């Protein structure tokens, strides 16, 4: 599998991994900041963006796909920044291939199973939009709006709406595989520890990392530090508040 990617900057290699329903462009602002210090690799995860599709969305499979990308680019070690689902991919990489990870930054996700289904309305909107070919973005948003109240979520999803060869539009993520394997996405298997430099970033107004997750974080990432990005939600993207080094 060859993942779609973008590279910018010079220096030590750093990999940026987006979250669910995202693409490599989602962390573009952060990439531009980090490119002053690192050679930044932005990737589309499997089943997202322009990367290949697969029926496997478990974190072991995703971590292996990303490590294959690292090998294809002849990178012996790499720092990794992952947001949300991408943070879980990054953590799986670190615990399975610790000798290959220099620094790890996890953005607003914990190494635990989440028992709350946060995206059922999103899948409902996406499935509604796919019931007939979409002629334009306006049609797509109208279908999403039947199920998704937040306009910000709709606009985020629409970033991954792409025009097909026949002129109609479709999603650049694999809706069917992501929905069918959603328990793998919300789940987590603790397979080891990573004792390297690790930073957990928490959005100050987000509940994805909570006090009850502290033991799980400390047991799997014993040298982890934490930083709360005030006045931000799940994206924790006030770049002037985000530490660039662990």
Catalytic residue among 18, 83, 119, 234: 234
pLDDT digits (tens, 9 = 90+) for 46-81: 999 999 999 999 999 999 999 999 999 999 999 999
Residue 244: the pLDDT is 45
Instruction: Return the exposure string of 111-148: e unless at least 16 CB atoms fall within 10 Å of the residue's CB, then b.
Output: bbeeeeeebebbbbbbebbeeeebeeeeebbebbeebb
The yes-or-no answer on residue 84 being catalytic is yes
Token representation of residue 57: 């969305």
Measured in whole angstroms, how far is the alpha carbon of residue 229 from the centre of its chain? Answer: 18
Specify the length of the chain in residues.
246
Q: Is the pLDDT of residue 238 over 60?
A: no
Nearest CA among 228, 220, 229, 225 for reference residue 112: 220
Rounded CA separation 210/188 (Å): 16
Q: Which residues pair with 65 in a beta bridge?
A: none
> Residue 24, Cβ neighbours under 10 Å: how many?
23
The chain-wide mean pLDDT, for the chain, equals: 94
Pick among 2.60.120.1060, 3.40.50.720, 3.40.50.10440, 3.40.50.1820: CATH of 5-114+187-241: 3.40.50.1820
Rounded CA separation 76/48 (Å): 25
Rounded CA separation 48/108 (Å): 20
Domain ranges of the chain: 5-114+187-241, 120-180
Rounded CA separation 161/134 (Å): 10
Q: Considering the entire predicted model, what is its pTM?
A: 0.95
Catalytic residue among 61, 79, 84, 160: 84
pLDDT digits (tens, 9 = 90+) for 120-166: 999 999 999 999 999 999 999 999 999 999 999 999 999 999 999 99
Token representation of residue 70: 């690292």
Return phi, psi of residue 75, to 5°: -100, 115
Q: Is 186:114 a contact under the CB 8 Å cutoff?
A: yes
Residue of higher predicted confidence among 239 and 63: 63
Identify the H or E element spanning 33. Answer: helix 28-34
The yes-or-no answer on residue 219 being catalytic is no
Residue 219: the pLDDT is 96
Q: Is the pLDDT of residue 198 over 80?
A: yes
3-state secondary structure of 201: strand
pLDDT digits (tens, 9 = 90+) for 6-29: 999 999 999 999 999 999 999 999
Rounded CA separation 150/163 (Å): 24
Beta strand pairing call for 78-83 and 12-17: parallel
């Amino acid at each position: 599998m060859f993942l779609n990617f973008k590279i910018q900057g010079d220096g030590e290699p750093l990999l940026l991994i987006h979250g669910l329903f995202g693409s490599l462009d989602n962390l573009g602002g952060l990439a531009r900041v980090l490119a002053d210090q690192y050679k930044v690799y932005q990737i589309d995860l499997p089943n997202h963006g322009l990367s290949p599709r697969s029926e496997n969305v478990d974190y072991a499979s995703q971590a292996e796909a990303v490590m294959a990308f690292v090998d294809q680019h002849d990178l012996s070690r790499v720092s990794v920044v992952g947001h949300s689902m991408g943070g879980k991919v990054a953590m799986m990489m670190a615990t399975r291939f610790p000798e290959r990870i220099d620094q790890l930054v996890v953005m607003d996700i914990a190494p635990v199973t989440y028992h709350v289904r946060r995206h059922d309305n999103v899948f409902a909107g996406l499935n509604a939009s796919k019931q007939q070919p979409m002629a334009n973005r306006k049609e797509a948003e109208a279908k999403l709006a039947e199920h998704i109240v937040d306009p910000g979520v709709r606009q985020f999803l629409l970033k991954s709406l792409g025009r097909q060869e026949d002129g109609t539009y479709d999603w650049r993520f694999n809706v069917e595989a992501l929905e069918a394997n959603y328990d793998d996405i919300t789940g987590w298997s603790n397979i080891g520890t990573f004792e390297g430099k690790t930073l957990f970033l928490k959005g100050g107004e987000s509940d994805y990392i909570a006090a009850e997750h502290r033991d799980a974080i400390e047991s799997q990432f014993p040298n982890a530090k934490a930083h709360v990005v005030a006045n931000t939600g799940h994206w924790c993207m006030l770049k002037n508040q985000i530490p660039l080094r662990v």
